[in-house]
Structure 1
Amino acid sequence: MMGRAGRRHSLLARIGDLALTVLAVGGTVCVVLVPLAFFFDISLILFKTGSMGPTIPAGSLAVVREIPASQVRVGDVVTVDRTPLPPITHRVVDIGAGEGASRSLTLRGDANESNDAAPYTVANVRLVEWSVPRLGYAVRTVSNVYAMSAITIGTAAIVTWAFWPRVPERRTSRRRSSPSRSDQAGPGSGVPPSSSGATPRGDSTVGRLFVVLAVLPGVVAAVLATPGRARADTTEDVTRSRHLTLISVGDRDRMSNMTPNEPVPWQVGVLAQTRQPGTVSISLSARGPLAADPDGLQVMAAICAMRWVQGACPDGRGEQVLADGPATRLAAHSITLSSMPTDQQRWVLVTASLLANSTASGSADLVVMATGSGDQASADGRVGPLPRTGTNLRTPVLAGTGALLGGLLLMLVTRRHRIRIRIKQQ
């Protein structure tokens, strides 16, 4: 009968085969989804806020498909781009005419009491096909660098296990004293080695190779295809002094996790409360290591008499007061952007970005300063590149490569050790 060690080995082998099968199925699904996303414009988005609740609560993962705006119908849930602001996903409540293929869409979140501030004129949108509640949290967790490292190390372990040298298993007989036919067979006996009960490795190796080839591309696709966010979490911070009020509006998370070629807006409203007429001066400065790097942070600024909506001045009188350029010019000394009477208000739209292929690190503090009527107030906006623990795949790749090389080295040492034992036994 099979011994306890044999049964344990058989159980572990079955568990390993089951794990490989599950991973192969998941990898195959990911491999299939990649061409679907490429050829049919299908992608995934995460809902960070609950503006579409309870239909699509916060933390949901949704599948979206890009379609022309002319195909949109009232009641559809769509994602529209708002460059330089992040995309937004809401329900269509009205459709207006636009130029050519464009349409003017009025959107509203199911959880909001009013429509969005202004219609969106777009030529293409991403239609939400279906969504799964809370699945976004799991995807976001897996997108973490530690999870990706664990995935790559696990994949390396699977590859090592799949090609690990195995000792052929022999069937045991109740009569251990009598040698089997294979034991009596010599080199010239004509008895094939497989008749001894040894498990042939050809089919097993091919099967494992097939499974590994299905797992690896799937893991790579799952790691690289990180879903985007459906909507930014914009916050407002109010700073008050004796006569001045500054309202800072921006997505703090997006500002501190910038990626190259993706401008990030931040606006500051300046208001004065004084009975005596006067003038308020508005300036912009930057400090920090990121601002000192000429190839790093880029900044531009514009002024409007009203609050900016979707990157546009509502009265059409927005004025660019600082051309796009390196933040180093703001690090040496502050630059005066504008001035205003104390009975008016100004809204400063600061757009920060990183150059393509930027390797800048650290952070920078953008400071909007208002000075007037014997008073002074400031609003800070901290910006920085996406941490290297985000989309940078160096850590998981190095971890997986190290685990794979370590497993292969251990496999080589084990094989040589077994060869030496067989030579000694002969």
Structure 2
Amino acid sequence: MRKYGELVADRDIRRTVDAVWRMEAAKIVATLTRVVGDVGVAEDLAADALVNALEQWPATGVPHNPAAWLTTVAKRKAIDQWRRQDRLDAKYAALAHELETASDHAWDPDLIDDDVLRLIFISAHPILPRDSRIALTLRIVGGLTTEEIARAFLVQKATIAARITRAKKMLGEANVPFEVPEPDEYPARLSAVLSVLYLIYNEGYSASSGHRWIRDELCREALRLGRVLTALLPDEAEVNGLVALMEFQSSRFGARTDADGNPVLLEDQDRTQWDRAQIGRGMAALDRVGQILRRTGAGWGPYALQAALAQCHAAAPSAADTDWARIVSLYDGLLQIAPSPVVELNRAVAIAMRSGPESALGIVDTIDGLDDSYLLHGVRGELLSRLGRDTEAADEFERAATMVTNDRERDVLVAKAARARA
């Protein structure tokens, strides 16, 4: 019989492997895709290496650089596969060239110089419908589960699973090479790429499931990729707008949770804990958006407008001193170019702050498309509570708590319901 200490050690190793996979999977798959030229094969090789880690690390210990270990093992597995295939010499030559040029090649500002961002552009192939491109890329690159992607799209899990399956099948049937597109192909893929970064960041900013409210590793990776993208496409207003938005939102991380990891809502946050340097970077990125739009005569896009919304909060010393009239106006503009029930709901919250909860409640009651989301019921409960309709508010909070899949947010809603009942 195994000793208790060995069982504990195995559990610790499994947690370590899980953590490494969550943080490094996209980079590992991206690197392997560049080497083997096929994202499906790259996923299989990475998964096989992960199995080896679970088998070997309990005995040998966790290596100093776990991600490098997994990547190296996966590459060796690729070589083993090539030994059993034709064109072995060509495969060896390709791998040798990749190894020789990986560390000392000259940087080309017109080429994608990041494995993960490269894989996002590859997966966002225009042969696929836009929603399928985004779903496939979120699954492969973002590492999001089918359930998480379904919640981001406000659709059923089966719908997303079908989209991902069809996308892989379409790419295979069309014999699409997984290669980096030429710079003149970037515009056709940019919208999907930005959507992927935005949705990855959102899942990190407010996790849709699990015990953590913030998955900061997802936010950091999305912001890192956004910064790489601005270096690649510095004159794209929406690229700069998305980076500005992520900078503003990330500046609040120090105040968004208490010492125990529980959520602290925006109006209750200690704004002295907001990262002023990060707010400054957001301001600079938003300034670049304005310069680009003035130079080109183009209109504001959805990411730039959301960055302007975030800037209103970043500039306000308190929730009460926020320019809510401007925020409502910006939401009006966002509804014109990117209508969605979530935008309508956020606009209603801003109207409640500007004009009072009664006028906002009438708007919330007319919103369609959020029946299966806890967001609508949570906001409705808040508005009812502010109107003194406590029993109705408690009902809404309790209904929202049954629908939410994040443990931390459920605790907040349950506590609100209890206070309303009291």
The structure number with the bigger radius of gyration is 1
Q: Same fold (TM over 0.5)?
A: no
Higher relative contact order, structure no. (Cα contacts within 8 Å, ≥ 6 residues apart) = 1
More helix by share: 2
More strand by share: 1
- TM-score for both structures, normalised by structure 2: 0.24
